[in-house]
Structure 1
Amino acid sequence: MSPAPGPPSDPVDRRARHREVPGPLEARWVPALLVCLTLGILGVAWDAPARSAAALTGLAVAATTVLGAARSTGRIRGVATATTLAGVAAALMLQHSAGPAAAASASGWTGAVHAGSPLRLELTLDGPATRSEATFGPRWSVPVRVETFGHPPRAPEAAVTARLTGGGAPPATIAAPLDGTAAPGGGPGSRVCVVARPSRSGSTVFLAAAAAPQPGPCPGGAEPAGGATDGGPGPPRREALRAAFRQSAEGTVGTAPELIPGLVLGDRSAQGAALDDAMKASGLSHLSAVSGANVAMILGAVAITLRSARVHRAVVLSAGLAVLGVFVVVVGPEPSVLRAAVMGALGALAVFFGRARQAFGLLTVGGTALLVAVPALAVEPAFHLSLAATAGIVLGGAPLDRALHAGLGRVLPDVVARWLSASLAVTVAAHLACQPIILAMTGEVSAYAVPANLLAAPAVPPVTVLGTLAAALALPAPGIAAALVAVIQWPAAWIGWVAHTSASLPGALRPWPAGALGAGLGVLLVAATLLGFAAVLLLERRRAAPVRRVGRSAPRTRERLPALVVLAAALAAATTGAVGAVLVPRASGAAPPDWAVAFCDVGQGDMAVFRSGPRAGVVVDVGPEPGLARRCLDDLDVDRVDAVLLTHLHADHTGGLPGVVDRASRGAVHYATRDAPAQGRGGRGGEADGVDRPADAARLRTGATGTAGPVRWHVLLADARAPEENDASAQVLVTVESEAGPVTTLITGDMEEDASAAWVAGHRSDAAAPPRVDVLKVAHHGARNGGTAVPRAVGARLHMVSVGADNPYGHPHRATVDALGRLGPVARTDLHGTLALTAADGPDPDGAPEITAHTVRPPSSVRTGP
């Protein structure tokens, strides 16, 4: 008697999947994807003849290699098919990329972008403006379409999309009203006129606005069709819905108000600088962006919930598609969102429906099609990360899920175990696959990224699933949306706590080793990643085999031994490199060879170095401790100190003098102070401790000047009659003559608000007024009593705050940082470490050099003071 037929196999049932033999991956499109990626990268860097020659040579070598391999393995038909697909895809890609490139060149747009000079541009806003915390302060950006450029205005021959960027908060001319009503000159679809400097990064053209965009077409430009200025894409209702959702997150616990909009909508506008840095240092920044991994978690949560309730597979698929559609509508159908939706759906298909073979084939076909249609995607880091993350989830997600569920299922209810194991599997697989790309992009390794992601992963599905539902109901049912937000605030706050805790641990974010060692370890890391996923697939197939082989076990073990040795060696080497990058201090002398100015991370104190020659410098203030001052000079490769200028006699500016004077000649030290003995205000202690006047040192007076090689300094003000030592701080203008032109820096010591305001207002007849400068060392470590009169007067292009991490004074004050951010970029030694500034020829009409900041030593956790 034959057994009765059982129910159909449940795609979420682990035991059933353990009995299945995974089929071979559909890999025929892999060569086509790799060839298109290679051609796309070459296409941006080389001209057309070089691209064609390289493409033909590469295809010939690839064809010869694969056909030779096929002949040795007897798989000529499959390899020939893959080679044909790669050739066809490459030909279509080259043909498709030739037309737009020629059109852009004929219109002059390509030349204008390459020149990088300021242009008058008429733009159509193509989406909502976003605000984010960048390295040196808040920035805004908005997607745009270029209608005309130059004067007289010319229209690009082909459609040109770009991103308009600027500092501070988005101006009113590009910000859509929060209530979703249309307004002339604001929001998606509006036209604006702006002067901006174009630059290309990969396939994206960035337009750096020189001033706030003006509403309406440029004078002499083409009028919008029908005279409308607000009928473009991006319905205002979606912007009102997003604004309502952001408001519903206000007042939640911990960091939830900052994180919820980013976790659900990819909107980081509410995310502060401290949380942004913590998310990056802990390797969790991908959670607050729209990604395929997040979409896969959303679809997985839907699938697990419905399948646990014995819902039919067709209903599960329909529900998944419906949720995916709601997600795209709420977040916005931008290309990055659509890409994340597709990639997330493929990941969910592999992990939650057991269709890794089909998902991998669709991934390679889809990736190839995207590159053929938009060749510039080949140089987009976001596209690389999306491909890698999805491939990691497709290849490793399901095996990791099964392994985790086997253990979790013994101690947790089955539904909870499935949800938790799937979340952890998706997170780990995506992170491991993306790690080599992130390392190549940033040059840094997050030491605690894997444990931080493991701790945060269980909190992501409830935030994303319930948060998406809350966002969709924010306008039609605000009460329900508020209730859902009240639920997700706790897991969101947990993610923020994990980020801050991980970032605060020693060595949380360290640079990868430089030079040949770093390159070699990077290659081994890539090899280890590829071999690791290959090993997972191999073990999965062998574990699932229904027939056990008998005999030849020893010879097969010997055949596998070399591969296992190679895999173990690669993993060990990559792990050693990662540990070394975290634990080994950065080598000294790592500053750029052409650095002009450097600001040292010396804890709670000030120290700046101006390059006066090869291995020589002029030092202004020396920080609180000799060891930290000596370390900074070593980092900058400075063996000779031509002059030491001490702005005033407080320990946080003079304590490091013994670490500097041994490299200076006799009489090189100069100082400013008030006529009465230096002392701080009572009750503050530590930072304001007075010190004795240094021996063999000269007094700095108002009007004093000096030179050392290309460095000139001028003491604009040194008030010896000041009632407080802080206000006696010498105001020193330092100029470094670089090949690109003079770089001017104003050092302000610890001068406080009243004295600064009087100086700026011209009440000091004995002192020159503060001039416009390139760099400003912000007074008193960014304290609130330092005021903003001087920053407003000098118009610096970079504001430097020298301050110690976790100092007991609360420096810098948030109000000061916000005020500085509205004036321009802000850098901080507690966040950015020791910085060296270089100067290069810039596009500014006044000939001012373009200044770039380079991290010489990452921020340390050194704490000085009480």
Structure 2
Amino acid sequence: MPDLRMPLLAVAAWAGALGARWGGWWVPGLAIGVALVLAAAGARREDRLRTALGAALVLAAVAAVTTLRTEQLERSPVAGLAAEGAAVQLVGTVSSDPRRTEGRYGPVVVVRLDVTEVTGRGATYALSSPVLVLADPAWESARLGATVAASGRLSPSDGDDLGAVLSARGPPEELAAPDVWWRGAAAVRASVRASVEHRPDAQRALVPALVDGDDTGLDPALADDFRTAGLTHLLAVSGTNLTLVVGFLLILARWCRVRGRWLYVVGAAGIVGFVLLARTEPSVLRAAVMGTVALFAMGTDGRRRGTRALGVAVVVLLLVQPGLAASAGFALSVLATAGILLLAPGWRDAMARWLPRWAAEAIAIPAAAQLACTPVVAAISGQVSLVAVAANLAAAPAVAPATVLGLTGGLVGLVWPGGGRLLGTLAGWCVAWIVAVATRCADLPTAAIGWGTSAAALAVLTVVVVVIAGVGPYLLRRPATGLACCAVLVVGVLVRPPTPGWPPDGWLLVACDVGQGDALVLNAGAHAAVVVDAGPDPAAVDACLDRLEITTVPLLVLTHFHADHVDGTAGVLDGRTVGTVESTRLQDPPAGVARVEALADPAPAPYGSVRQVGQVSLQALWPPPDSPTTGPGDGSTANDASVVLLVEVQGVRILLTGDLEPAGQAALARAYPGLSVDVLKVPHHGSRYQDQDWLLSLGARIALVSVGEDNDYGHPAASTLEPLEDTGARVLRTDLDGDVAVIEDGDGLSVGTR
């Protein structure tokens, strides 16, 4: 039987961290009071009370640390200057690799600094505070571990583990180079990338991701396939990585006749080296600790030792980094490890009655880990993967050789580049199999099912998980019931379940619920559609098109190149025949243009001419043919270059406006006076920046707002929606209504929602 005392202390530690985070200062006091009461009553039932007292003390300690950490950040000089929006000069150590991302107004580099000195408002302070830096691409050269000076303006941070956010001005000034171990780790990471530089794109990106979590250059569509197949853990640093690397080192050490306590030294050196290679960020430290727990579980009496190690690991991590308590990644790591330790042995023993033990174990481990993580995965992604167990089972034989060969290729490449490339080729071949598994599994009809993220939906799912965990061994111990469970799962994956009432008869237009972005589908005939924008997520738009049973897209129009309109393009292309791809004339922002051009060859939407695509008639009203093709990288400029389409389907006039800003709306009003439509796609997700007179003059009966739930932009604005509603227009939002369909069924214009 596993020893559950330390896991109970871990639960208490987690409760303490979350209680102090959300409950305030009173939580530690309450916990200490409970501990004193238990101590006073401890003369009777000594064993139980000792565990209860320990839990109360652990809860109090973690709650106190969390409260102190929060108070320290909130009352630091950095936080005070951020509250005033002060311009400052900082000195700090780079604590994360710079990561380039697409911001609202162009590319942004994100990097963390551990600030040791800040000067602002005429005073200089020495301190220790983490700060997130948002900077221009010049910061991509910042080296991890280097001491740098920077200037900019501080603003408050939303994260509990950050003192402030710095909007940096200009490049950083390096004051001191990174220490030798950081330079060595950087050299190995660069050598790993170089060893697979000659391989195809997917292999070139995935080998470093497996070895050290470096997912630079990973295709978003491929990442989405991994997510759908339940293989996302292979794209980031996880406990599995450390287990494989350190386990390989221990095997080498045994071959070299290292014995006894020296094996612990080798293992400790491997753990430290792995952390340096993968970076000392909280996610890496978490993965290293969970990997160490797995190593404990591999020894004799592994189940008992593993659960003890897991409990100790959680308590120690929350004492050191209490912010991990609210981290989904931390929860997934702990739950996966707990599932393997607590559920997998029973499932393995049940199946071992009629399967070879190695096969039973191969099935039980990924199944138990996936089941334990299911509620958290659903809360994050809104879906439950049905192919995760099969995908992990199929990919598992290639994961270890790909990781070990990739790391060895990086090490050998430091002294012999040719040998490094040879090993990198072998690692690439292994990764090719993993890619094939992910893409094939993701393409199955019901690879994943949508699941709500409400408290009620997650509570129901948690109950289902608990029931499956309890009855699993009883169902799996007999071949008949075990094979029947497998058959039900296989049929569920291969046969797409019907969606009653969807798509509705007579649908003309569907605004897909793709989060914070646009994806609009116009009915062009049987299983055919004109798609306008692709949203930010390939999976979301792909699922919407699947629900509409669209197999052919004769025309794809991308109104402009912001990520929330084009990043899902791969989802439109996936498994469908796609004809012409059109876009705006303005080739900005460059990152969005590059993402689209990697998948298609877009042509500018022809201005003014009326075209017929199936039963869809459409005319591009904007931008005009003399509009610029290059821009200043200003987000508003790109928005105002959005392709605006006037569409007619079965006599219903629809205006699709992209993210057109007030200036563009006013210009459109001058160019097309008296324009009227039946359906309006409200510009820019219902932003408050609108030419209200023009919007109201269109006379739309239905207004659609494509917007993401709880977005950071304040979309949609009441000042935009209320005047439309006052005209009698029916306003529908994808964040509240899901997929929204405009329907003409012979009885007039109506709407349907999913």
Scaled by the length of structure 2, the TM-score of the pair is 0.63
1:261 deviates by 0.7
Which residue is 1:189 aligned to? 147
Which residue among 824, 831, 836 is the counterpart of 2:707?
A: 836
Match status 1:77 vs 2:46: yes
- Against the structure 1 CA distance between its residues 90 and 243, is the aligned structure 2 distance closer, same or farther, given a 3 Å change threshold? same
Which residue among 91, 105, 130 is the counterpart of 2:60?
A: 91
Please tell me the residue identity of whatever aligns with 1:28: R
Which residue is 2:239 aligned to? 292
Q: Secondary structure at the match of 2:275?
A: helix
**More displaced stretch, 322-331 vs 835-844:** 835-844
- Against the structure 1 CA distance between its residues 210 and 772, is the aligned structure 2 distance closer, same or farther, given a 3 Å change threshold? farther
Q: What are the equivalent positions in structure 2 for 1:306-385 lying under 5 Å apart?
A: 320-351=267-298, 353-385=300-332
Where in structure 2 are there 5+ consecutive unaligned residues?
505-509, 523-527, 535-540, 558-576, 583-603, 611-617, 646-657, 665-704, 721-732, 742-754
Name the count of aligned residue pairs: 593
Which residue among 74, 84, 97 is the counterpart of 1:129?
A: 97
Contact 2:16–2:28, Cα closer than 8 Å, also in 1: no
1:794 deviates by 11
Please tell me the residue identity of whatever aligns with 2:707: A
Contact 1:303–1:352, Cα closer than 8 Å, also in 2: no
Please tell me the residue identity of whatever aligns with 2:150: V
Contact 1:130–1:267, Cα closer than 8 Å, also in 2: no
Match status 1:172 vs 2:132: no
Q: Secondary structure at the match of 2:147?
A: coil
Q: Secondary structure at the match of 2:342?
A: helix
- Against the structure 1 CA distance between its residues 157 and 521, is the aligned structure 2 distance closer, same or farther, given a 3 Å change threshold? farther
1:450 deviates by 1.8
Contact 2:516–2:706, Cα closer than 8 Å, also in 1: no
Which residue is 1:524 aligned to? 463
In 2: Cα distance, 1:347 partner to 1:505 partner: 32
Contact 1:292–1:389, Cα closer than 8 Å, also in 2: no
Which residue is 2:171 aligned to? 214
Contact 2:117–2:126, Cα closer than 8 Å, also in 1: no
Which residue is 1:278 aligned to? 225
In 1: Cα distance, 2:298 partner to 2:129 partner: 38
Please tell me the residue identity of whatever aligns with 2:173: G
Q: Secondary structure at the match of 1:129?
A: coil
Deviations, residues 289-324 of structure 1 (Å, cap 9, x unaligned): 111123224445566788899996767656544544
In 1: Cα distance, 2:516 partner to 2:255 partner: 64
Which residue among 389, 402, 413 is the counterpart of 1:463?
A: 402
In 2: Cα distance, 1:305 partner to 1:400 partner: 32
Which residue is 1:605 aligned to? 530
Where in structure 1 are there 5+ consecutive unaligned residues?
1-23, 178-185, 218-227, 411-416, 541-566, 610-622, 633-649, 655-683, 690-723, 731-746, 763-769, 781-789, 797-833, 861-866
- Against the structure 1 CA distance between its residues 389 and 368, is the aligned structure 2 distance closer, same or farther, given a 3 Å change threshold? same
Which residue is 2:113 aligned to? 144
- Against the structure 1 CA distance between its residues 398 and 841, is the aligned structure 2 distance closer, same or farther, given a 3 Å change threshold? closer
In 2: Cα distance, 1:407 partner to 1:302 partner: 35
Which residue among 73, 76, 79 is the counterpart of 1:107?
A: 76
Deviations, residues 581-614 of structure 1 (Å, cap 9, x unaligned): 9846499999999x999542457524599xxxxx
Contact 1:264–1:288, Cα closer than 8 Å, also in 2: no
In 1: Cα distance, 2:307 partner to 2:578 partner: 64
Q: What are the equivalent positions in structure 2 for 1:404-423 lying under 5 Å apart?
A: none
Which residue is 2:381 aligned to? 442
Q: What are the equivalent positions in structure 2 for 1:595-744 lying under 5 Å apart?
A: 599-602=519-522, 605-606=530-531, 726-728=606-608
Q: What are the equivalent positions in structure 2 for 1:770-785 lying under 5 Å apart?
A: 772=637, 777=642
1:438 deviates by 1.6
Deviations, residues 141-164 of structure 1 (Å, cap 9, x unaligned): 322123466841667785222443
1:269 deviates by 0.6
In 2: Cα distance, 1:374 partner to 1:839 partner: 27
Please tell me the residue identity of whatever aligns with 1:189: T
Q: Secondary structure at the match of 2:138?
A: coil
Contact 1:471–1:481, Cα closer than 8 Å, also in 2: yes
Please tell me the residue identity of whatever aligns with 1:385: L
Contact 2:87–2:153, Cα closer than 8 Å, also in 1: yes
- Against the structure 1 CA distance between its residues 126 and 597, is the aligned structure 2 distance closer, same or farther, given a 3 Å change threshold? closer
Deviations, residues 449-500 of structure 1 (Å, cap 9, x unaligned): 2211111111111111222222333323333322221211111111112122
Q: Secondary structure at the match of 1:727?
A: coil
Please tell me the residue identity of whatever aligns with 2:20: G
1:384 deviates by 1.6
In 1: Cα distance, 2:517 partner to 2:149 partner: 41
Contact 1:132–1:271, Cα closer than 8 Å, also in 2: no
1:441 deviates by 2.4
Which residue among 177, 191, 216 is the counterpart of 1:244?
A: 191
Which residue among 39, 54, 57 is the counterpart of 2:16?
A: 39
Contact 1:295–1:345, Cα closer than 8 Å, also in 2: yes
Please tell me the residue identity of whatever aligns with 1:502: C
- Against the structure 1 CA distance between its residues 39 and 236, is the aligned structure 2 distance closer, same or farther, given a 3 Å change threshold? same
1:213 deviates by 4.6
- Against the structure 1 CA distance between its residues 40 and 600, is the aligned structure 2 distance closer, same or farther, given a 3 Å change threshold? same
In 2: Cα distance, 1:286 partner to 1:273 partner: 15
Q: What are the equivalent positions in structure 2 for 1:38-57 lying under 5 Å apart?
A: 38-49=15-26, 51-52=27-28, 55=31
Which residue is 1:477 aligned to? 416
Contact 1:296–1:344, Cα closer than 8 Å, also in 2: yes
Q: Secondary structure at the match of 2:217?
A: coil
In 1: Cα distance, 2:250 partner to 2:400 partner: 12
1:371 deviates by 1.7
For the pair shown, the structure with the greater C-alpha radius of gyration is 1
In 1: Cα distance, 2:621 partner to 2:290 partner: 53
Q: CA RMSD in A?
A: 5.8
Match status 1:30 vs 2:15: no
Q: What are the equivalent positions in structure 2 for 1:838-853 lying under 5 Å apart?
A: none
- Against the structure 1 CA distance between its residues 468 and 139, is the aligned structure 2 distance closer, same or farther, given a 3 Å change threshold? farther
Please tell me the residue identity of whatever aligns with 1:30: P
Contact 1:244–1:475, Cα closer than 8 Å, also in 2: yes
In 1: Cα distance, 2:215 partner to 2:422 partner: 22
Deviations, residues 678-711 of structure 1 (Å, cap 9, x unaligned): xxxxxx996599xxxxxxxxxxxxxxxxxxxxxx
1:48 deviates by 1.9
In 2: Cα distance, 1:685 partner to 1:496 partner: 24
In 2: Cα distance, 1:592 partner to 1:59 partner: 53
Percent of matched pairs sharing the same residue: 24
In 2: Cα distance, 1:405 partner to 1:470 partner: 38
- Against the structure 1 CA distance between its residues 173 and 355, is the aligned structure 2 distance closer, same or farther, given a 3 Å change threshold? same
In 2: Cα distance, 1:374 partner to 1:631 partner: 46
In 2: Cα distance, 1:44 partner to 1:254 partner: 42
Deviations, residues 360-387 of structure 1 (Å, cap 9, x unaligned): 1122122112223332221122222222
- Against the structure 1 CA distance between its residues 304 and 104, is the aligned structure 2 distance closer, same or farther, given a 3 Å change threshold? closer
Q: Secondary structure at the match of 1:251?
A: coil
Q: Secondary structure at the match of 1:605?
A: strand
Contact 2:114–2:128, Cα closer than 8 Å, also in 1: yes
1:273 deviates by 1.8
**More displaced stretch, 579-588 vs 520-529:** 579-588
Match status 1:760 vs 2:726: no
1:197 deviates by 4.5
Q: Secondary structure at the match of 1:370?
A: helix
